[in-house]
Chains A and B, each alone.
Chain A
């Protein structure tokens, strides 16, 4: 069975930059408070009628260009998002329409912060089995339209930003290179520690006006921050070691770890736990906030641009987030 590899990466972030100081206009917060807890300085917010698929299409076009491919060469589209353009159908359908490739199978993966890596695991298998030669995997979010941008919602709202990234996954003839393994986990016991409740099909009715605009609005994400933090700093190193162990490798072998950009403090704790140097970990949360399914491909794009990944390098992508879900992928570039 052949290996797969990431052939190219593209990204898109909307032009509007929202700094921590800008947020002070709608909530009681401060640049110091946000930076101290999260490492975030600014994030991007989309405008107008821009959805995850619109941004995803921009990222996809860049990735395809860089792979020397046309949209017509794509055989399958996997879209990871938790903020779809519309409730139904999947954002992958809208993305496919924008790329004008009718007929190509397209579906959404809804695995929150681990969505991109769940999608990568799927793309990897489709290529490995020889089913497809070119899978387009996109991760993207428009969080800004679903946040409680008042003082009441500040703990969660300040963290998130909009953005999208895309990769083309294709065949790798060298069995020692490409995506070496993927590892996926979930623990639904903690589903309500970081979640967005409504609309909820388990409520009857699924949505009420009270849920939207009542004093206890349920259409905004909620998080028990400390709880999530504690689990993240355990699960991240665990799933990174799982990937390394599966391939007989050690943290010292890593040229670069790209953790999902959830919180700079989490990334720092993970690096410390694995005894990784600053040079071995890539972070860009200061400029984008948490873009959830978009964060890993955006960071991967920037790491490549900055020359932080060279041919033959061992790269680990890892994520932890809502679900809880967590995942890793080990790649010989």
Chain B
């Protein structure tokens, strides 16, 4: 048995001009759980299911509504999915691929049949809007993408996937504070004034690692799926640095018409990027049943992954 994506949806807040670029930015005080609700309803409608039929939730985010509990709990309440399990995972920019792999496991093991896998972020409320942070902050957007994962039939569904982490450079792309490891207090007013709660990135390290990681993991997922690059209708590649995703696509031999780079349209949506791009194409009719996509993402952690899925 394999799992399949039975429906997808996405929701982006209106675009706002920030740092000289237009980005989807949540101007109301909302968390990722709230952005994910319309996206999930869209995914459910596409699958012909209702919220009461969902039997599990996997929520991938690095910007949860509150510090704890997880965004999945807030999402569950807004969806009215009564008392089903709501798992929150943290795998940063690769969160959606990790979530898809976990959902695939639950379906294959026969534990659940209708899982909402969410990738959603509200980055904008945590960005450094000073000149110092502009370079990185300008890269981000807010949004949510959702896939309803259930049982696949025949070749429809998850064909192959690969997920990886390399923690050796965890501090090359991170948000250090609050840091529970700092004693006696994980976050002080001094840490705040020093801006230690903002994301910092070593652009060279992230570029260098990301490109090779994306190329290798796409090859690995294709091999696991036992399909060649030519059989993929669309490569959706997400990386905070647009040129890294683009180069990775070129290196794996993808023609521009088969390449979808979500960062080119929305900035970096982290865990939300891949399901949003997939949903956009399905809504536009440029992808549909029978098409095979390769979803790949790499980022902080470093964590990266790819999945080959037939719609």
Interface residues of A (CB under 8 A from B): 1, 46-54, 77, 82-90, 92-97, 102-112, 118, 121-122, 124-126, 128-129, 131, 141-142, 144-146, 182, 184-189, 191, 194-209, 212-213, 219, 221, 322-325, 327
Contacts and interface: CB of A to CB of B under 8 A. Distances in A.
Interface stretch (B148-156, B182-190, B253-261): B182-190
B263 interface: no
A201 B63 contact: yes
Contacts of A1: 109-110
A184 B69 contact: no
Contacts of A124: 109
B301 A51 contact: no
Interface residues of B, number: 83
Given A84-B90, A85-B181, A89-B303, 4 more contacts: A1-B109, A87-B174, A145-B182, A201-B63
A125 B106 contact: yes
A212 B178 CA distance: 10
Interface string B144-185: 000000000000000000011111101101111111111111
A184 B301 contact: no
B300 A212 contact: no
Nearest to A104: B165
A157 B4 CA distance: 45
A215 to B, nearest CB: 13
B73 A191 contact: yes
A51 to B, nearest CB: 3
B246 interface: no
A48 B305 CA distance: 35
B180 A52 contact: yes
Interface in B70-123: 70, 72-78, 82-92, 98, 102, 105-106, 108-111, 121-123
B88 A111 contact: yes
Interface stretch (B26-34, B281-289, B290-298): B26-34
Contact of B181 (A86, A197, A221, A325): A86
B91 A107 contact: yes
Nearest to A130: B108
Among B165, B177, B303: residue with most chain A CB under 10 A: B165
B208 interface: no
Nearest to B95: A107
Contacts of A191: 66, 69, 73-74, 77
A144 B62 CA distance: 23
Contacts of A141: 180
Contacts of B197: 87, 199, 206-207
Interface of B: 27, 29-32, 34, 56-57, 62-70, 72-78, 82-92, 98, 102, 105-106, 108-111, 121-126, 163-168, 170-171, 173-189, 192-193, 197, 199, 300-303, 305
A144 B165 contact: no
Contacts of B111: 121, 125, 182
A196 B63 CA distance: 14
Nearest to A199: B67
Given A110-B88, A122-B102, A83 B66 contact: no
B179 A93 contact: no
B109 A129 contact: yes
B180 A146 contact: yes
Which 6 A-B pairs rank lowest in CB-CB distance, beginning with the nearest? Answer: A51-B181, A184-B85, A188-B77, A202-B31, A188-B73, A97-B167
Given A46-B183, A50-B181, A187-B76, A103 B164 contact: yes
Contact of B300 (A89, A207, A327): A89
Contact of B56 (A54, A86, A105, A184): A184
A110 B68 contact: yes
B70 A110 contact: yes
A205 B183 contact: no
Contact of A108 (B90, B164, B170, B199): B90
18 contacts: A50-B183, A87-B174, A88-B92, A88-B174, A89-B167, A107-B165, A111-B87, A111-B88, A118-B85, A145-B185, A145-B186, A146-B185, A184-B56, A186-B76, A191-B69, A197-B67, A199-B178, A200-B65
Given A105-B98, A187-B76, A195-B66, A200 B31 contact: yes
Among A48, A103, A191: residue with most chain B CB under 10 A: A191
B125 to A, nearest CB: 4
A125 B85 contact: no
Given A85-B179, A86-B177, A112-B68, A106 B168 contact: no
A145 B185 CA distance: 4
B64 A201 contact: yes
Contacts of B164: 103-105
